[in-house]
């Protein structure tokens, strides 16, 4: 029946041409081609390759994007765009006309997805995140080295490969680090971009507050200059958790005395590798640390930290934090 209707449509145009009514016929097709479509809300449709104009028209009609597949086919062919329609996944706006649909397919305006990778995840956690994205295909391959990926928002299309997304993250990290390293402050107590990434990963795990990152970095820079251990809990957790970055429990005093390469209570200087993938802000912070005399900081119980220049002041801040925790537990 559809084939007969298609023949009839082109027959009408032929008769119109023979009878001098082609212009009227074309105007009728154009009117239907431009009228609002039936969609009441946005809809995503996969346009397969190799279907031709007829197959695409059928797919669009079955999805409820257009009302008259024959009108779509006629409009596309009369516009001379029959070979320009591109396969892919498209999101069509409500009441898109057949012409608007054609223009989207000609332009290849496929649906774009967003993947936001939070700062401070390990490379293994980022790989797990990407493996769970249903629109991507293929395996990631080997887990990238810690600190080799840049957390930010990435755009992708259905059918993109997971390996390519990982590659883009690595390229973004390399480009960002090179740019920031070239603009770094003078006289930093580390010599290579890789060491900057290590320290930035520690800063990233110590605070998620943008306004604190440079000050936390300043504390660690001051400690490195003085040859003091960094004494960072997240580095201890990283070593104890064998790189997962999570213990599932609170650190104990015994943990702080357990020897491993990432225990910055027992070793001076930087740990041997990053402990997560730091974001741009953390990298910027360690390359432009705050000018401070602080050597200590401790949580204040509200998400931020109290900073101190002396051990006595720091101990007072620690006691204040412990009182905060006791009071909070007493009210539960």
Q: How confident is the model at residue 244 (pLDDT cuts 50, 70, 90)?
A: confident
pLDDT, average across residues 169-189: 97
Task: Pick the range with the lowest mean pLDDT from 101-105, 130-134, 243-247, 293-297.
Answer: 243-247
Task: Give the CB-side neighbour count of residue 161, counting CA atoms within 13 A.
Answer: 7
Element (H, E) at 288: none
- Domain membership of residue 266 (yes or no) is yes
pLDDT at 15: 44
Rounded CA-CA distance 296/306 in Å is 8
pLDDT, average across residues 143-165: 96
pTM over 0.75? The answer is yes
Whether residue 201 sits in one domain with residue 165? no
Q: How confident is the model at residue 329 (pLDDT cuts 50, 70, 90)?
A: confident
> Could you count the other beta carbons within 10 Å of the beta carbon of residue 235?
27
Whether residue 122 sits in one domain with residue 102? no
Q: Residues of 97-114 as b/e, b for ≥16 C-beta within 10 angstroms?
A: bbbbbbebbeeeebbeee
Q: Average pLDDT over the chain, rounded to whole?
A: 90
- Expressed as residue numbers, the domain containing 22 is 2-107
Q: What Cα–Cα distance (Å) separates residue 255 from each residue in 61, 136, 262?
A: 64, 40, 12
Whether residue 217 sits in one domain with residue 141? no
Q: How confident is the model at residue 205 (pLDDT cuts 50, 70, 90)?
A: very high
Per-residue 3-state assignment (H helix, E strand, C coil) for 164-194: HHHHHHHHHHHHHHHHHHHCCCCCCCCCCHH
- Domain membership of residue 119 (yes or no) is yes
Using the structure block, give the residue that is written with the tokens 């991507």: 136
* Last-in-domain residue among 126, 146, 173: 173
Q: Examine the pLDDT at 17 and tell me if it is beyond 90.
A: no
Whether residue 212 sits in one domain with residue 193? yes
pLDDT tens figures, 21-30 = 555 556 767 8
pLDDT tens figures, 304-321 = 999 999 999 999 999 999
pLDDT at 100: 96
- Domain membership of residue 40 (yes or no) is yes
The answer to whether 146 touches 123, Cβ cutoff 8 Å, is: yes
Rounded CA-CA distance 142/248 in Å is 26
pLDDT, average across residues 24-37: 78
pLDDT, average across residues 221-225: 97
Q: Examine the pLDDT at 106 and tell me if it is beyond 70.
A: yes
Q: How confident is the model at residue 91 (pLDDT cuts 50, 70, 90)?
A: very high
Angle between helices 98-107 and 69-78 (to 10 degrees): 60
Greatest CA separation for the chain: 101
Whether residue 119 sits in one domain with residue 157? yes
pLDDT at 248: 85
């Amino acid at each position: 029946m559809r084939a007969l209707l298609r023949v009839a449509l082109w027959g009408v145009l032929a008769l119109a041409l023979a009878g001098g009514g082609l212009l009227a016929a074309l105007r009728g097709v154009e009117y239907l081609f431009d009228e609002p479509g039936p969609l009441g809300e946005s809809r995503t449709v996969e346009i397969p390759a190799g279907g031709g104009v007829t197959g695409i028209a059928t797919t669009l009609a079955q999805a409820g994007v257009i009302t008259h597949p024959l009108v779509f086919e006629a409009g596309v062919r009369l516009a001379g765009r029959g070979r320009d329609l591109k396969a892919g996944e498209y999101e069509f706006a409500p009441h898109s006309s057949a012409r608007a649909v054609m223009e989207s397919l000609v332009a290849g305006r496929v649906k774009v997805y967003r993947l936001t990778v939070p700062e401070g995840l390990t490379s293994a956690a980022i790989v797990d995140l990407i493996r769970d994205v249903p629109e991507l295909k293929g395996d990631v391959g080997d887990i990238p080295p810690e600190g080799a990926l840049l957390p930010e928002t990435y755009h992708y299309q259905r059918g993109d490969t997971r390996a390519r997304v990982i590659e883009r993250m690595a390229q973004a990290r390399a480009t960002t680090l090179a740019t920031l390293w070239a603009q770094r402050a003078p006289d930093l107590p580390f010599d290579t971009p890789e060491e900057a990434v290590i320290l930035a990963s520690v800063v990233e795990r110590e605070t998620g507050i943008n306004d604190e990152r440079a000050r936390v970095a300043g504390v660690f820079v001051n400690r490195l200059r003085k040859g003091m251990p960094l004494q960072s809990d997240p580095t201890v957790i990283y070593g104890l958790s064998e790189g997962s970055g999570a213990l599932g429990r609170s650190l104990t005093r015994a943990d702080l005395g357990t020897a491993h390469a990432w225990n910055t209570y027992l070793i001076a200087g930087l740990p041997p590798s990053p402990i997560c993938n730091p974001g741009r802000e953390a990298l910027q912070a360690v390359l432009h640390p705050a000018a401070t005399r602080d050597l200590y900081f401790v949580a204040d119980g509200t998400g931020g930290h109290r900073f101190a220049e002396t051990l006595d002041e720091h101990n007072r801040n620690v006691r204040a934090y412990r009182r905060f925790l006791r009071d909070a537990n007493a009210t539960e």
